[in-house]
């Protein structure tokens, strides 16, 4: 009987386990790309088809734009579904949940993410929904029983209201919503007019992420059925079709570029025309200043005119990120206008724009990184560097729904691409190319050849969106060019049907003013290195001729320019500036308060040189080194280039200082106010060292034989001695009294005249 009951219990357990596992298969829903009313309608149909036994709902999110009203309605229905059906909602962020899609993670019982994912910026410009109402709607989606409910409410406020100021109050208080008057020393995460966006590292540090993994592993972990995985894998094209109809293009342009029917409609214009010099740090300063200007003026769009052979990868990455941000965060779409060349780093800039327009003789591609090898010959970068840049290009192409394989082929000459049945395929070998049959492959690129596309090819393969016809236009006048404003009809781009219909459109071209040009010059490695050398020599000469004279002023000016250029490159941290200031203070103490070259002087020089090296070497925190291949990333190459310049300037500065110390300064008597120059013969009354037996007794009265600043010479009973004042500067001829005698110095003090 006991055995029978045991058998019954085993059968019941087995049946229950099978029932639980059968019911626990999650239901997957994917939100990708621009989320519109069509997505809402599709979701409502899909919601009705979810099986009754479903206990877990998995939402995969990869979107950066959408209709806020539609997404809020989807979120409301998901919330009701969770409450009514008592289901668990798991959200996976693949790359980004930006814009309206940022609402979905607030529904999550569990949150997972891919690497480099971003989440935030719910607020959408142009939406009529009031900020307080949007905040309330997003907050209402948060489960009050969620262990991080209070933190999620703070994030909801910051992401849905650009006026909300979110600060990090440290490990104990965490992230909080604060008023501008209460900030104090708190670390500001999102300032006024800047909605909150956080990355995967911040999500993990806040304890919001259950896991950080690629989407394939995530699907495997949650046992996505093979048929669903295969179904998602095939159409998971996060890039648009190669052939786009004129109406589809018009719809996309109209969706993202909105304008006033009355006008005026200002169009931002940034021109990068560097066919000789290429893209570098000065280009980044120019583009950064232009984008800051357009954030204030809010044009309907920005035209990025490109005619460049490329340049520094690191500078191009900074520019590309800024172009993407002004579109996705600030709502100002960017159109890349390839006016002949978008080669190498120029192709990266084009890929970072929402739309690409090309002229008939345009070229785009050939973006493999090269380095200067032995003997100055240019060599291809190692595979590790190529791999990183290849992934970067693919991600930038994928971000605006372009084919990532074509972007990779511009970097990697090992790729073989063909167009087969209207689809771009990557082949393993050239033997796989179909050369016969009714529809043979169209070879896009072969092995050992970097992909460079003509204007026709960029349109054919879905890289470019529109062709700019070579129509006759009236060029802007000299006065218009000087002012930076002219009718947009004077640009060939605005003879395209869509742009032509924008009423009263005016080009607002950002001109590189003298300030930007000056900062661009300061950012050059050679200029920064000469400033460093000038500062060294200036401070040395001033130390030998104390009192803030011309050398000291020049040194301070050089130091100011170094700091200014680093601010322009956004390469400076406050800790570096602190080290520089501490170094200067310690050196001044050593020179004027604590004579001799002791610990303060050594620490001062160390702090000053270390701080200046850190300031003048941008991207230190972005440098990565591959030990197995012995290669640096793009930021590392910039770092090493500037380091070489700085080391050269340091060596030259030391050489100049040695020359001045040996041949110039000893003969310039008028410049020396710290020491008395000339012959110091014993017959003339000079005594070397501090022999106490020959020293005047305490309280002896004499006068300053030279200025004491604070070190100098004193005359006591017709004998000249080395001495220092008690901290005050004394002029030559001042009456003094011996206040202290030690084994290393004589300290004197001023005697007031009666």
556 phi/psi in degrees, rounded to 5: -65, -40
The secondary structure of the chain in percent helix, strand, coil, rounded to multiples of 5, reads 45, 20, 35
CA distance 93 to 119: 8
Greatest mean pLDDT among 318-322, 509-513, 683-687: 318-322
- 308 closest CA partner among 288, 337, 268: 337
Pairing of strands 711-716, 719-725: antiparallel
Do 314 and 357 belong to one domain? yes
Does a structural domain hold residue 248?
no
Give the residue from 721, 727, 729, 718 showing the smallest Cα distance to 746. Answer: 721
Average pLDDT value for the chain: 78
pLDDT tens digits, one per residue of 463-478 = 999 999 999 999 999 9
Last residue of a domain, one of 487, 511, 535: 511
110-127 pLDDT per residue, tens: 999 988 888 888 875 545
- List the single range of 226-230, 283-287, 573-577, 745-749 with lowest mean pLDDT: 226-230
Same domain assignment for residues 506 and 546: no
Looking at the structure, do residues 507 and 521 belong to the same domain, yes or no? Answer: no
Q: What is the mean pLDDT of residues 236-254?
A: 70
Number of domains in the chain: 4
pLDDT above 70 for 407: yes
- Domain containing 716 equals 700-750
How far, in Å, CA of 5 to CA of 298, rounded? 77
Q: Is residue 566 part of a domain?
A: yes
Assign 259 a pLDDT band (cuts: 50, 70, 90).
Answer: very high
CA dihedral sign of residues 530, 534, 537, 539: negative
Last residue of a domain, one of 642, 666, 690: 666
> Is 175 within the bounds of a domain?
yes
Residues 6+ apart with CB under 8 A from 377: none
The whole-angstrom separation of Cα 532 and Cα 558 is: 7
Q: Is residue 434 part of a domain?
A: no
Does residue 100 sit in the same domain as residue 215? yes
pLDDT at 25 over 80: no
Residue 506 lies in a domain: yes
Share of the chain above pLDDT 70, in %: 74
Quickly state the pLDDT bin for 648 (edges 50, 70, 90).
confident
pLDDT of residue 629: 47
Query: Does the pLDDT of residue 487 top 90, yes or no?
Result: yes
Residue bearing the bigger pLDDT, 535 or 385: 535
- Within a domain: residue 21? no
Read off the pLDDT band of 413 (50, 70, 90). confident
Q: What is the structure's pLDDT at 237?
A: 46
Q: Is the peptide bond before 718 cis (omega within 30 degrees of 0)?
A: no
pLDDT of residue 129: 64
* Tokens encoding 684: 């003339």
Q: What is the pLDDT of residues 48-98, one digit of tens each?
A: 888 888 888 999 998 877 778 888 999 999 999 988 888 999 999 998 898
Same domain, yes or no: 155 and 208: yes
Q: Which residue has the higher pLDDT, 332 or 577?
A: 332
Q: Are residues 180 and 51 in the same domain?
A: yes
Residue 174 lies in a domain: yes
Q: How far apart are CA 322 and CA 283, in angstroms?
A: 13
3-state secondary structure of 552: helix
Least confident of 179-193, 323-337, 489-503: 179-193
> What pLDDT score does 646 carry?
74
Do 288 and 161 reside in the same domain of the chain? no
Q: What is the CATH number of the domain that holds 726?
A: 2.40.50.140
Average pLDDT over residues 329-340: 94
What residues have CB less than 8 Å from 257, skipping those under 6 apart? Answer: 300, 301, 333, 498
Do the beta carbons of residue 307 and residue 275 sit within 8 Å?
yes
Average pLDDT over residues 191-220: 84
H/E segment holding residue 218: helix 215-221
Backbone φ and ψ for 4, nearest 5 degrees, come out as -65, -40
Least confident of 33-37, 341-345, 403-407, 698-702: 33-37
Residue 60 lies in a domain: yes
Output the DSSP codes for 39-72: HHHHHHHHHHTS-TT--EEEEEEEEEEE-HHHHH
Asked whether the beta carbons of 710 and 723 are under 8 A apart, the reply is no
Tell me the C-alpha distance between 96 and 264, whole Å. Answer: 34
Average pLDDT (187-211) is 81
Instruction: Decide: 103 and 76 in contact? Cβ < 8 Å.
Output: no
Check whether residue 62 and residue 198 sit in a common domain.
yes
Q: Which CATH number does the domain housing residue 395 bear?
A: 3.90.226.10
DSSP β-bridge partners for residue 425: 418
579 and 528 fall within a common domain:
yes
Structure tokens of 644? 């070489």
Confidence check: pLDDT of 130 > 90: no
Last residue of a domain, one of 609, 641, 666: 666
Give the N- to C-terminal CA distance of the chain in Å, as an integer. Answer: 123
Determine the pLDDT at residue 307.
93
Other beta carbons within 10 angstroms of residue 357's beta carbon come to 26
Residue 674's pLDDT band, with cuts at 50, 70 and 90, is: very low
Name the least confident of 159-163, 390-394, 447-451. Answer: 159-163
Poorest-pLDDT segment among 147-161, 366-380, 442-456, 539-553: 366-380
Does residue 367 sit in the same domain as residue 506?
yes
Q: Say what the pLDDT of residue 510 is.
A: 92
My answer on whether 349 and 494 are in the same domain is yes
Among the residue ranges 397-401, 414-418, 598-602, 652-656, the one predicted with the least confidence is: 598-602
Lowest mean pLDDT among 163-172, 267-276, 588-597: 588-597
Q: Among 495, 488, 502, which residue's Cα sits nearest to residue 357?
A: 495
CA dist., res. 460 & res. 699, Å (int): 96
Q: What confidence tier does 10 reach under pLDDT thresholds 50, 70, 90?
A: very low
Same domain? For 197 and 328 the reply is no
What is the C-alpha to C-alpha distance for residues 414 and 299, in angstroms, rounded to an integer? Answer: 42
Average pLDDT over residues 153-157: 87
């Amino acid at each position: 009987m006991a055995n029978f009951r045991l058998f019954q219990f085993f059968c019941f357990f087995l049946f229950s386990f099978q029932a639980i596992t059968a019911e626990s298969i999650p239901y997957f829903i994917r939100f990708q790309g621009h989320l519109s009313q069509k997505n809402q309608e599709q979701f409502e149909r899909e919601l009705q088809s979810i099986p009754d036994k479903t206990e877990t709902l998995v939402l995969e999110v990869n979107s950066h734009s959408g209709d806020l009203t539609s997404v809020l309605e989807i979120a409301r229905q998901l919330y009701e579904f969770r409450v009514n059906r008592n289901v668990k909602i798991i959200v996976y962020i693949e790359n980004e949940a930006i814009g309206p899609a940022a609402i979905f993670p607030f529904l999550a019982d569990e949150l997972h993410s891919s690497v480099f994912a971003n989440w935030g910026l719910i607020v959408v410009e142009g939406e009529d929904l009031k900020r307080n109402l949007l905040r309330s709607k997003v907050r209402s989606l948060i489960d009050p029983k969620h262990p991080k409910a209070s933190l999620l409410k703070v994030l909801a406020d910051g992401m849905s209201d650009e006026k909300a100021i979110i600060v990090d109050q440290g490990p104990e208080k965490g992230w909080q919503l604060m008023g501008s008057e209460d900030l104090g020393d708190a670390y500001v995460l999102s300032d006024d007019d800047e909605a909150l966006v956080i990355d995967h590292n911040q999500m993990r540090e806040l304890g919001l992420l259950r896991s950080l993994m690629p989407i394939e592993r995530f699907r495997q972990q949650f046992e996505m059925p093979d048929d669903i995985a295969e179904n998602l894998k095939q159409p998971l094209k996060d890039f648009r079709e190669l052939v786009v109809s004129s109406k589809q293009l018009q719809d996309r342009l109209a969706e993202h570029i909105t304008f006033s029917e009355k006008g005026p409609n200002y169009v931002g214009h940034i021109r990068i025309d560097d066919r000789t010099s290429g893209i570098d740090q000065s280009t980044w300063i120019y583009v950064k200043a232009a984008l800051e200007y357009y954030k204030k003026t809010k044009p309907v769009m920005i035209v990025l005119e490109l005619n460049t052979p490329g340049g520094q990868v690191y500078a191009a990455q900074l520019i590309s990120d800024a172009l993407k941000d002004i579109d996705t965060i600030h709502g100002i779409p960017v159109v890349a206008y390839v006016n002949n060349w978008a080669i190498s780093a120029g192709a990266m800039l084009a890929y970072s724009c929402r739309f690409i327009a090309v002229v008939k003789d345009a070229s785009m591609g050939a973006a493999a990184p090269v380095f200067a090898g032995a003997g100055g010959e240019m060599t291809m970068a190692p595979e590790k560097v190529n791999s990183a840049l290849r992934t970067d290009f693919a991600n930038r192409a994928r971000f605006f729904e372009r084919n990532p394989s074509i972007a990779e082929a511009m970097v990697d000459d090992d790729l073989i691409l063909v167009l087969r049945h209207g689809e771009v395929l990557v082949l393993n070998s050239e033997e796989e190319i179909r050369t016969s049959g009714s529809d043979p492959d169209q070879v896009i690129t072969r092995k050992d050849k970097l992909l460079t596309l003509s204007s026709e090819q960029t349109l054919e393969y879905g890289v470019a969106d529109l062709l700019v016809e070579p129509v006759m236009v009236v060029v802007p006048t000299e006065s218009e060019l000087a002012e930076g404003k002219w009718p947009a009809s004077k640009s060939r781009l605005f003879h395209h049907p869509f742009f032509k219909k924008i009423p009263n459109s005016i080009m607002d071209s950002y001109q590189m003013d003298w300030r930007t040009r000056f900062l661009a010059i300061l950012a050059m490695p050679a200029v920064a290195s000469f400033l460093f050398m000038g500062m060294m020599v200036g401070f040395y000469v001033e130390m030998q001729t104390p009192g803030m004279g011309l050398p000291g002023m020049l040194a301070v000016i050089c130091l100011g320019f170094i700091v200014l250029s680093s601010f322009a490159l956004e390469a400076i941290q406050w800790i570096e500036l602190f080290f520089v200031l501490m170094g200067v203070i310690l050196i001044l103490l050593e020179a004027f308060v604590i004579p001799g070259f002791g610990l303060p002087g050594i620490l001062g020089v160390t702090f000053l040189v270390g701080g200046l090296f850190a300031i003048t070497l941008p991207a230190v925190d972005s440098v990565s080194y591959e030990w197995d291949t012995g290669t640096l990333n793009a930021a590392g190459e910039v770092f090493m280039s500037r380091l070489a310049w700085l080391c050269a300037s340091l060596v030259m500065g030391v050489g100049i200082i040695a020359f001045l110390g040996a041949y110039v300064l000893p003969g310039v008597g008028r410049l020396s106010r710290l020491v008395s120059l000339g012959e110091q013969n014993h017959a003339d009354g000079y005594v070397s060292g501090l022999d106490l037996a020959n020293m005047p007794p305490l309280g002896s009265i004499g006068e300053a034989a030279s200025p004491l600043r604070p070190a100098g010479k004193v005359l006591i009973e017709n004998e000249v001695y080395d001495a220092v004042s008690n901290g005050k500067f004394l002029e030559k001829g001042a009456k003094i009294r011996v206040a202290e005698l030690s084994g290393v110095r004589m300290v004197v003090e001023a005697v007031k005249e009666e």
